[in-house]
Amino acid sequence: MTFLIKSESGALIIDGKAVAAGVLEGVATEVAALGLKPGLAVVLVGEDPASQVYVKSKGRAAETCGFHSVQHTLPRETTQADLIALVQTLNADPAIHGILVQLPLPPQIDSQLVLETISPAKDVDGFHPVNAGLLAIGDRKRALVPCTPAGSLILLQTAAKELGISIAGLDAVVVGRSNIVGKPMAQLLLAESATVTIAHSRTRDLAGVIARADIVVAAVGIPEMIKGAWIKPGAIVIDVGINRVAGEGLTAQGQPKTRLVGDVEFAAAAARAAAITPVPGGVGPMTIAMLMSNTLSAARRKA
Ligand code: GUN
């Protein structure tokens, strides 16, 4: 299978959909040999349309992999106590190996408290402090690693292999310091022996910091904030952003068209980079694939 497409500008476009399909195929094959059906429970509170789409895709991928897949949809008014009670029930359920509570949660609920209620062994999002701590001490064997950074690393490794370069010793800049992407991504890059900088909203001279980077991972959630002209020629660019912006014209239903863009100005960055992930079709599909991979790992440890 080919995971990389040569673009007109010469940059390799990293095909996240193809890499994710490979990961899912591997998971499905292992499930068939495991002798136990991995169980994934996804919990959605409220009716956020983006969350509904994500949760549906997660359920579909779980079924494709041969998992036992359950979804709990709770009303927006759900109390913190009720959500915690559901998580505790899932913690105790032997048919469930992975629990994911879709974020964001409504304002009456303390998200961190809910995430910390999930048993670390079933925390397939990798957000529990125990898993964050295991990643921080470099124990990849025992940690469940957050899906988006784990998938981003695989795309980066795919590109580096194709380019014939080693990640060790390279200057990597992660833009964004969230617990979900930025911080765990920095830990993963450090474990690969990259020299890691975490840039964020208070960083002075972001353009200058990025201009020195051999690897850029953009996770800020601001459409095309990272300008193509900042990218060092020959760098590898992993764009985690998925931002919906106004498009051109109207849909068949007469609604204004929208389109998805990343955190990086794609065309201008592709003109300088050695390899880059597209949006959509880059990191996005990898997040769901890594969720399946984490659920398999959690089940395997139980088996
Ligand atoms: N909302 C947006 N991304 C994520 C994710 O990776 N996990 C969960 N639980 N919620 C999300």
Domain with CATH 3.40.50.10860 in the chain: 36-120
CA pair distance 146, 115, nearest whole angstrom: 13
Work out the mean pLDDT of the chain and round it to a whole number.
96
Q: Residue 296 and residue 4: Cα distance in Å, rounded? A: 27
CA of 287 to the centre of ligand 1 (A): 9
Expressed in angstroms and rounded, the spacing between residue 273 Cα and the centre of ligand 1 is 29
Q: Which of 71, 83, 100, 292, when mutated, tests ligand 1's pocket best, judged by the most ligand atoms within 8 Å of its CB?
A: 100
| Residue 258 pLDDT | 96
Looking at residue 1, its pLDDT comes to 45
The CATH code that applies to domain 36-120 is 3.40.50.10860
Which pLDDT value is given to residue 10? 80
- Please state the φ and ψ torsions of residue 228, each to the nearest 5 degrees: -60, -35
Residue ranges of the chain with per-residue pLDDT less than 70 = 1-8
| Amino acid 3: pLDDT | 63
Q: Confirm if 272 and 231 have CB atoms less than 8 A apart.
A: yes
Where do the CATH 3.40.50.720 domains begin and end in the chain? 146-284
Which residue blocks in the chain are alpha helix, DSSP H? 16-34, 49-64, 80-92, 111-117, 129-136, 147-163, 182-191, 206-211, 266-270, 283-302
Residues 6+ apart with CB under 8 A from 269: 226, 227, 228, 231, 237, 276
| Structure confidence by residue, pLDDT tens digits, 253-283 | 999 999 999 999 999 999 999 999 999 999 9
Question: Where do we find the tokens 């001490």?
Answer: 137
pLDDT value, residue 71:
97
Closest CA to 275 of 234, 230, 241, 221: 234
Span from the CA of 146 to the centroid of ligand 1 (angstroms)? 9
Active site residues: 58, 102, 125
Atom of ligand 1 nearest to the CA of 146: 6
- CATH match of 146-284 with 3.40.50.720: yes
Residue 164 one-letter amino acid = G
Spatial CA neighbour of 55 closest among 2, 115, 102: 102
Instruction: Compute, in angstroms, the gap from residue 104 CA to the centroid of ligand 1.
Output: 8
Q: Whose CA is nearest to atom 1 of ligand 1?
A: 103
Model confidence pLDDT, tens digit, residues 175-202? 999 999 999 999 999 999 999 999 999 9
- The ligand 1 site (C-beta within 6 Å) comprises 100-103, 125, 147-148, 180, 287
pLDDT at 6: 64
